Structure 1
C-alpha cells in the first residue's frame, strides 16, 4: 500500500513539475507563434475599432476568427475604449501583446506600460458638398448591365465589403456588404505597397531620393547588399531573403514580432544578385518606406498626409507605423472605399490632381513598366512601382490594365484606355477558387462605351 502511495505521489510531483515548467515557459519565453497570434489580434482589433469605428465583438467574431482560426477562441481580447487600447493574451495569461491607438496615426504594438508619443493629430478639412472626387456625392448609373454585374453574388464573392466603379472621373456604381458603407475605413493590405511607392516617388520629385541610389543603409557597407538600389526595392528584385508565407517555418514573415520592422528586413541575408530575381516581399516595401522617411527627414511623419492624402482629399486615410516610427508600407493603410478609388483615379491621371503634377512626370508609366524577371507564363506580372500587370496574370482585360492587389482579394483595377477604375474589397479566403477576374471583366464589359 505504501508503495502505491509513493508511486502516486511521485506521479503527482512529476505532473506538477511538468505543469510548472510549461507555465514558466509560456510566461517567460512564449513561442513566437503565440506572440505573433496575440500581436495580430491586438493590432487588428485596435485598428478596426478605433480607426474604422466597427463593433469590437463583430471584429473579433469575423476578422480575428478568420485570420487565426486555430487559436482565436483561446485568446482573451480586452478593449479599453477610455484609453483606446487593446490587450490580448493566450488563455488570458500568456504571450500578452498590447496595441495603442493614436488619433490620426492609427494603432501601434506597444509594451504593457508604454504610452506612445501623442503628437497633435493631422488636420482633416471638411469636404464640400460636391460630386466625388471633390466631395462625397455620387450620381449612380442606371445601366442594367452594370448593376447586374455589381449585384451578382457570384461575382461579388463571399465576404465582399465594397465594390466601387469610377468611369470618366465619376463614381457611377457602388455597393457594400452588410455592416459596411462608403464611409467605413478598410485595410488595403498589399494595396498599401503601391501607395508607399507613390510616396517614394514624391520624395524623388522633391529631390530627396533617386531610383538609382545605392549604399542605402550603413549596415550594408562592405557587402554585396550595398549594390541594392531604390529601384530594386520597388521592383521586388533586391535579392534579399524573404518568405511571405505566414505559416512558413522561415521566420522572415514574422516582422510583426519586431519593434523595428525595417531593421528586421534590412538584416536579411542576400540570396541573389540585386536585380536578377523577382521575390514578392513585404520587407522590400518596409525598407522603401524607411528610405523615403530618412530622405524626407523631420517632416516624414506628416509627409503622407501633407503630400498625398490632403491634396487628393483622402480624409479617411491612415497609414500606420511600427513602434520605431517606420510606416508599415507593406499592408497597413486604412481608408474608405471612396478614398481608395481617389488614389486609383490619381494613378489613372498619371499622378496629376486638380491640375497639379504631384508625382514626377512619367513616374506612373515607370511604375507600370514590367519587371521582366517576374515572368510567370503570360508575361511579366509585376510593374516597377509595386503594382500588378493585368495581361501578365492572364486577365482578359485591355492591355493597359494595371492593378493594386492585396491579401483577401482586395483589388483596384485601373484601365486608362477606358477611363475606368474598379475597386473590390472584402474578407475572402484565397483557397476557395474565387477570383476577382470575372467581376472585373463583367464591369469592364458593361462600362464599355459604344
Structure 2
C-alpha cells in the first residue's frame, strides 16, 4: 500500500513538474494578451468587456482568463487559472500598456504626444465634410454593393467575421458597410498594418534627409561585429538575416517581446545573424520594433520622438482618430498596436496610391513608395518594404500591382494603382478563411 501511494505521489509530482515546465510560462501569454486586449478595446475603442471577451479574445486559451476592470484606475487585471495575474494600464493619448511584473507605474515615462486635430473644411479624404454626390458611369453599383455585402454574410457554414469594408475609387467613397455594433466612427486595431505606418515614418525621415535606405552601422551595439553591415533597407525588407522566431502559440521571440519585455526595441537588436543579409527573408515583428527604436535614436528627446509620428505623418494626412500605443519604456509598438477608423486607414492607403503626395504636399518621396513595392529577395514576390505585394500573383484575379498593409485576423488596406482604388477590410478572419481573391475580384469587376 505504501508503494502504491509513493507511485501516486510520484505521478503527481511529475504532472506538476510537467505543468510547470510546459504550461506555466504560457500563462503570461494568456493573462497578458487578455488584459491588454480588454484594456485597449475598452478605453480606446469604447467596446464593452463582455463584447471583447466574446469576440476579440475568443482565441484558444486566451478566453480562459478572467478579467477585472477598474474604471477609476483605468486598468484591467487578468488572471489565468488563478495562478498568473497581469495588469494593463490605460493612459490618455498613449493607449494601454502591459505592465511588466513587479514594475512600478511611477517608472512610466510622463510625456504625451502633441496632437494637431484641426479639421479641414474639405470633403473626404482631405477633410471631414461630406463628399459631393458623384456617380461614375463605369461603376456597376449593384454588383459593387453585392460584392461588398457578401464580405459580411455567412455562407455555406463559412463565418466571414467582417467588421467594415470601405471602397475608395478616384478619391471618392463608392461603397461602405459596417457590421452591427460598428460604424464609421469605430476605431479598429490594425495589428500588423501598423508595420506599414512605421515604414512610412521612416519614409518621412528619408524625405527630410535624416536617414538613408542604404545606411549601415545602425546601432552602437553592432559596431564590432558583422551586424554593422546590416542596412536600413535590409530591416525594412525583413531580409537582415537576424535570428527571429514568430509563433504566437508558444513562448518565443515574438511573445516574449509583446508580453514580457519592457523595451520592445531591444529583443531583436540582441539577436545575432543566422542568415545572409539581403538573402534571408524572415517575417519579424521584432524587426519593426527595432526600427521604432532606430527612429527614437534620431531625436534628442522622448517628446520629439512621440510628436514626430503624428505631426509629420498621421495628423498631417487627417488620420485624427489614430492612436499608436507604446511599450513600457516609451517606444511606439510599431509592429502591432495602431488604431484608427476605417476611413482613416483608407487615407493612409491613399497617401501611397498618390505616391506619397497629400493634397499637393510631397510627404514621402515617390522613390520611397517605389521601394515599398519592390519584391524582397527570397519572398517569392509577396513582400516589399514593410508592405505585402501581389507581384507573385498570390491572388490570381487581382492586378499584380496591388500591394497592401496586412494585420492579424484579416485587417487589410489594399492599394491598387492600376485601378485607382483603395479598399479597406477589417474583421476577425484572415485569408484563406476570408477569401481575399474572391472579395477583391468582385469589387474590381464592378469597375469597368
The TM tier, using the shorter chain, reads 0.7 to 0.9
| Structure 1 residues 71 and 420: CA distance shift in structure 2, 3 A | closer
**Is 2:190–2:411's contact at 8 Å kept on the other side of the alignment?**
yes
Alignment partners' CA distance in 2, 1:7 and 1:247: 39
Q: 1:108-123 alignment to 2 at 5 Å?
A: 108-111=97-100, 114-115=104-105, 116-120=108-112, 122-123=114-115
Alignment partners' CA distance in 2, 1:47 and 1:419: 34
Picking from 98, 123, 143, the partner of 1:131 is 123
Picking from 72, 75, 81, the partner of 2:63 is 72
Gaps of 5+ in 2: 136-140
Per the alignment, residue 105 of structure 1 pairs with 94
Picking from 256, 268, 277, the partner of 2:280 is 277
**Is 2:115–2:311's contact at 8 Å kept on the other side of the alignment?**
no
- 1:252 is displaced (CA, Å) by 4.9
Q: 1:35-54 alignment to 2 at 5 Å?
A: 35-54=28-47
Per the alignment, residue 222 of structure 1 pairs with 224
Alignment partners' CA distance in 2, 1:140 and 1:99: 45
Picking from 318, 325, 328, the partner of 2:333 is 328
CA deviations over 1:315-366 (Å, ceiling 9, x no partner): 1111111112221111111111010000000100111111111112421111
**Is 2:39–2:89's contact at 8 Å kept on the other side of the alignment?**
yes
Give the total of aligned pairs. 431
CA deviations over 1:116-156 (Å, ceiling 9, x no partner): 33434533525356521111535677811111111114778
Picking from 359, 369, 375, the partner of 1:370 is 375
Per the alignment, residue 138 of structure 2 pairs with none
Moved more, 208-217 or 227-236: 208-217
- 1:188 is displaced (CA, Å) by 0.9
| Structure 1 residues 58 and 366: CA distance shift in structure 2, 3 A | same
Moved more, 161-170 or 325-334: 325-334
CA deviations over 1:298-326 (Å, ceiling 9, x no partner): 21111111111111110111111111222
Q: Secondary structure at the match of 1:364?
A: helix
Q: Secondary structure at the match of 2:61?
A: coil
CA deviations over 1:32-54 (Å, ceiling 9, x no partner): 31112211111111111111111
Per the alignment, residue 178 of structure 1 pairs with 180
CA deviations over 1:158-188 (Å, ceiling 9, x no partner): 1101100001012111111121111111111
| Structure 1 residues 114 and 140: CA distance shift in structure 2, 3 A | farther
Moved more, 350-359 or 219-228: 219-228
CA deviations over 1:101-122 (Å, ceiling 9, x no partner): 1111111111466323343453
Picking from 267, 270, 293, the partner of 2:270 is 267
| Structure 1 residues 426 and 136: CA distance shift in structure 2, 3 A | farther
Q: Secondary structure at the match of 1:86?
A: strand
Per the alignment, residue 415 of structure 1 pairs with 416
Q: 1:323-402 alignment to 2 at 5 Å?
A: 323-375=328-380, 380-383=381-384, 385-395=385-395, 396-402=397-403
Two-structure CA RMSD over aligned residues (Å): 2.9
- 1:372 is displaced (CA, Å) by 2.9
| Structure 1 residues 260 and 208: CA distance shift in structure 2, 3 A | same
| Structure 1 residues 124 and 102: CA distance shift in structure 2, 3 A | farther
Alignment partners' CA distance in 2, 1:121 and 1:240: 32
Moved more, 183-192 or 110-119: 110-119
Moved more, 346-355 or 154-163: 154-163
The TM-score with structure 1 as length reference comes to 0.87
Moved more, 167-176 or 360-369: 360-369
**Is 2:34–2:62's contact at 8 Å kept on the other side of the alignment?**
no
Per the alignment, residue 87 of structure 1 pairs with 77
Higher helix share: 1
- 1:70 is displaced (CA, Å) by 2.5
Gaps of 5+ in 1: none
CA deviations over 1:395-441 (Å, ceiling 9, x no partner): 222232111111111111111121110111101166x6432111111
**Is 1:402–1:414's contact at 8 Å kept on the other side of the alignment?**
yes
**Is 1:242–1:253's contact at 8 Å kept on the other side of the alignment?**
no
Q: Secondary structure at the match of 1:285?
A: helix
